[in-house]
Amino acid sequence: MPELPDVEIFRRYLNATALHQEIETVRVHHDRVLKGVSKATLQRRLKGQELDQTSRHGKHLFAALSKKGWLMLHFGMTGFLRYFQVEDKKPGHVRMELLFTNGYRLAYDCQRMLGQVSLVKDPYTFAEKEKLGPDALEGLDFDTFRTAVSGRRGSIKSTLMNQEVVAGIGNIYSDEILFQARLHPAILANTLKDKDFENLYQCMDRVWKESIDAGADPEAMPDDFLLPHRSEEESCPRCRGPVKKIKISGRSGYYCPRCQKKDRGQRTDDSKKQS
Ligand SMILES: [Zn+2]
């Protein structure tokens, strides 16, 4: 499922391909992805406009229309963008596409159709309306992060995944951030100490930087990332112990029981021994 780094890569892709070109027509192949806008309205509002700039908040991508308003794209479980010219480059599950006057198209592909295409006033108003927390990358300072997370009941993993707390973290990247921070996913958010938050914040920062640098491609990520080893068949890239699966808030997460101990005292002792 596309999370913050994936959507940031989509944003950069859109910037590098589809900006400042006149939209000739819009094809909607499946209405189910449209949210709060009809096919006819989307087509009428986009025709003759250009995408001027982009913005991202959490897992939502926004493209400013040259006249007024923003196109909003959410990628659900399986969504992505493809810019192409010839039909054989068209991906297999295109739900909506913008056709530009230069002969190129921007396709929104979303196989499972859990994503959304909409027209919104602006990203800020949208985030407020949807009660999205601060974006987990852009302008999230340490104090805001600590305040947002520390007052929450529930596990640290489910708290990080809660879009009202911080926006952009899902199942996969919450696992990665917690693995890097050596925190067990089931630790309660409101039991974390200041140094845990500092550690968590720094690890999150590094995870964003490295994953975006890697183009959000698991194969291109650093050797000490858990992300390419999300299976109980795999071993921990740090201690070589077995990777374990854990169910939290209905999602299957992965962690290393040796590196991410639930007993806080034990974890501290272990990290002392190893350092
Ligand atoms: Zn380990």
Residue 180 maps to a domain:
yes
If you average pLDDT over every residue of the chain, what do you get?
94
Q: What is the mean pLDDT of residues 67-93?
A: 95
Same-domain check for residues 73 and 159: no
CA 239 / ligand 1 centre spacing (Å): 4
Q: Calculate the CA dihedral of residues 200, 205, 207, 210 and round it to 10 degrees.
A: -160
Same-domain check for residues 190 and 125: no
Q: What is the mean pLDDT of residues 19-46?
A: 97
The Cα 186–Cα 261 span in angstroms is 10
Same-domain check for residues 167 and 226: yes
Q: What is the mean pLDDT of residues 207-222?
A: 97
Q: What pTM was computed for the model?
A: 0.94
Judged against a pLDDT cut of 70, whether residue 274 lies above it is answered with no
Judged against a pLDDT cut of 50, whether residue 192 lies above it is answered with yes
Residue 57's pLDDT band (boundaries 50, 70, 90)?
A: very high
CA 158 / ligand 1 centre spacing (Å): 21
User: Looking at the DSSP assignment, which residues form a beta bridge with residue 235?
Assistant: 242
CA 235 / ligand 1 centre spacing (Å): 8
Q: What is the mean pLDDT of residues 95-104?
A: 97
pLDDT at residue 263 in the model: 81
CA 7 / ligand 1 centre spacing (Å): 29
Last residue of a domain, one of 129, 161, 193: 129
Q: What is the mean pLDDT of residues 4-28?
A: 98
Residue 275 maps to a domain:
no
Which structure tokens are listed for 191? 């039991």
The Cα 88–Cα 82 span in angstroms is 12
CA 95 / ligand 1 centre spacing (Å): 41
pLDDT at residue 268 in the model: 38
Give the residue from 255, 33, 35, 74 showing the smallest Cα distance to 163. Answer: 74
CA 199 / ligand 1 centre spacing (Å): 17
Same-domain check for residues 123 and 151: no
Which domain covers residue 57, as residue numbers?
A: 4-129
CA 170 / ligand 1 centre spacing (Å): 21
Same-domain check for residues 255 and 161: yes
pLDDT at residue 100 in the model: 98
Residue 269's pLDDT band (boundaries 50, 70, 90)?
A: very low
Using an 8 Å Cβ cutoff, are 119 and 37 in contact? yes
pLDDT at residue 139 in the model: 86
Q: List C-alpha distances in Å: 193 to 62, 149, 207, 248, 259.
A: 36, 11, 21, 22, 18
Same-domain check for residues 243 and 159: yes
14: domain CATH number?
Answer: 3.20.190.10
Q: What is the mean pLDDT of residues 158-178?
A: 97
Instruction: Read off the pLDDT of residues 106-146 as tens digits, 9 standing for 90 and up.
Output: 999 999 889 999 999 999 999 999 999 999 999 899 999 99
CA 258 / ligand 1 centre spacing (Å): 5
State the Cα angle at 82 between 76 and 83, rounded to 5°: 145
* Count of the separate structural domains present in the chain: 2
Which structure tokens are listed for 177? 């951030």
Residue 265's pLDDT band (boundaries 50, 70, 90)?
A: low
Q: What is the mean pLDDT of residues 188-194?
A: 94
